[in-house]
Structure 1
Amino acid sequence: MSGMFEPAPEPSTELGLLRVLSKTASVKASPLILGGMSIGDAWSGYLGSMDKERAFELLDAFYEAGGNFIDTANTYQNEQSEAWIGEWMKSRKLRDQIVIATKFSTDYKWYEVGKGKSANFCGNSKRSLHVSVRDSLRKLQTDWIDILYIHWWDHMTSIEEVMDSLHILVQQGKVLYLGVSDTPAWVVSAANYYAISHGRTPFSIYQGKWNVLNRDFERDIIPMARHFGMALAPWDVMGGGKFQSKKSMEEKKKSGESLRSFDGISERTKIEVKMSEVLSKVAEEHGTESVTAIAIAYVPKRGMFFH
Structure 2
Amino acid sequence: MYTRGPPPPTKLAHYRQFAPRAAIHVSPLCLGGMSIGDKWVATGFGTMDKESSFKLLDAYFDAGGNFIDTASIYQNGSSEQFIGEWAEERGIRDQLIISTKYANNFMNGDTSIKSRVNFTGNNLKSMKLSLDSSLKNLRTDYIDLFFVHYWDLHTSAEEIMDGLHNIMLSGKVLYLGISDSPAWFIVKANEYARKNGKTPFVVVQAPYSDLQRDLEREIIPMCRSEVPIFFFYKSIGMALMFWNVLAAGHIRSDEDEERRRQTGEKGRVDSDRDWLRSDAEKKMCGALKVVRKQVGANNITAVAIAYMMHKVPYAFPIIGGRKIEHLMANIEALDISINPEQMKYLDEASNSMLVFHTISWYVGMFSDRVFDFDSPHVFRDP
TM class by shorter chain equals: over 0.9
Higher helix share goes to which structure?
Answer: 1
CA contact (8 A) 1:110 1:117 kept: no
Q: Does the C-alpha gap of structure 1 residues 302 and 141 become closer, same or farther in structure 2, counting only changes over 3 Å?
A: same
CA contact (8 A) 2:46 2:268 kept: no
* 3-state DSSP of counterpart to 1:88: helix
* 3-state DSSP of counterpart to 1:203: coil
Is 1:270 the counterpart of 2:270? The answer is: no
Is 1:249 the counterpart of 2:257? The answer is: yes
Amino acid at match of 1:59: L
Report Cα offsets for 1:62-107 as digits up to 9, x if no partner: 0011100000000001111000000000000010000000000011
Which position in structure 2 is the counterpart of 1:280? Answer: 289
* 3-state DSSP of counterpart to 1:302: coil
Q: Distance in 2 between matches of 1:211 and 1:151?
A: 19
* 3-state DSSP of counterpart to 2:147: strand
Report Cα offsets for 1:25-56 as digits up to 9, x if no partner: 11111111000000012113312331110110
TM-superposed CA distance for 1:264, in Å, is 4.9
* 3-state DSSP of counterpart to 1:123: coil
Which position in structure 2 is the counterpart of 1:64? Answer: 62
Aligned residue pairs: how many?
A: 303
- Superposition TM-score, scaled by structure 2 size: 0.77
Structure 2 residue corresponding to 1:192, chosen from 177, 190, 193? 190
* 3-state DSSP of counterpart to 1:171: helix
Q: Which moved more, 1:47-56 or 1:163-172?
A: 47-56
TM-superposed CA distance for 1:154, in Å, is 0.5
Task: Kindly indicate whether structure 1 or structure 2 has the higher relative contact order, using CA contacts under 8 Å at least 6 residues apart.
Answer: 2
TM-superposed CA distance for 1:133, in Å, is 0.4
TM-superposed CA distance for 1:283, in Å, is 1.8
Which position in structure 1 is the counterpart of 2:76? Answer: 78
TM-superposed CA distance for 1:114, in Å, is 6.5
- Superposition TM-score, scaled by structure 1 size: 0.95
Q: Distance in 2 between matches of 1:147 and 1:94?
A: 17
Q: Does the C-alpha gap of structure 1 residues 53 and 38 become closer, same or farther in structure 2, counting only changes over 3 Å?
A: same
Structure 2 residue corresponding to 1:212, chosen from 188, 210, 220? 210
* 3-state DSSP of counterpart to 1:299: helix
Which position in structure 2 is the counterpart of 1:24? Answer: 21
Which position in structure 2 is the counterpart of 1:11? Answer: 8
Q: Does the C-alpha gap of structure 1 residues 189 and 262 become closer, same or farther in structure 2, counting only changes over 3 Å?
A: farther
* 3-state DSSP of counterpart to 2:178: strand
Q: Does the C-alpha gap of structure 1 residues 200 and 51 become closer, same or farther in structure 2, counting only changes over 3 Å?
A: same
Report Cα offsets for 1:206-243 as digits up to 9, x if no partner: 10011111111111111111224211101111111111
Q: Distance in 1 between matches of 2:297 and 2:263?
A: 23
Q: Does the C-alpha gap of structure 1 residues 87 and 240 become closer, same or farther in structure 2, counting only changes over 3 Å?
A: same
Q: Distance in 1 between matches of 2:154 and 2:200?
A: 20
Structure 2 residue corresponding to 1:229, chosen from 208, 232, 237? 237
Q: Distance in 2 between matches of 1:284 and 1:251?
A: 21
TM-superposed CA distance for 1:281, in Å, is 2.6
Is 1:40 the counterpart of 2:37? The answer is: yes
CA contact (8 A) 2:203 2:238 kept: yes
Which position in structure 2 is the counterpart of 1:170? Answer: 168
Q: Does the C-alpha gap of structure 1 residues 254 and 273 become closer, same or farther in structure 2, counting only changes over 3 Å?
A: same
Q: Which moved more, 1:98-107 or 1:110-119?
A: 110-119
CA contact (8 A) 2:202 2:239 kept: yes
Q: Distance in 2 between matches of 1:201 and 1:7?
A: 37
CA contact (8 A) 1:280 1:289 kept: no
Q: Distance in 2 between matches of 1:44 and 1:197?
A: 46
TM-superposed CA distance for 1:20, in Å, is 0.8
Paired-residue identity, %: 44
Q: Does the C-alpha gap of structure 1 residues 241 and 264 become closer, same or farther in structure 2, counting only changes over 3 Å?
A: closer
TM-superposed CA distance for 1:189, in Å, is 0.5
Report Cα offsets for 1:156-194 as digits up to 9, x if no partner: 111110000000010000000000000001100111111
Q: Distance in 1 between matches of 2:280 and 2:149?
A: 28
Structure 1 residue corresponding to 2:142, chosen from 131, 141, 144? 144
What's the C-alpha RMSD, in Å, of the aligned pairs?
1.5
Give structure 1 stretches of 5+ with no counterpart.
Answer: none
Amino acid at match of 1:304: P
* 3-state DSSP of counterpart to 2:202: strand
Which position in structure 1 is the counterpart of 2:109? Answer: 111
Structure 2 residue corresponding to 1:130, chosen from 119, 128, 131? 128
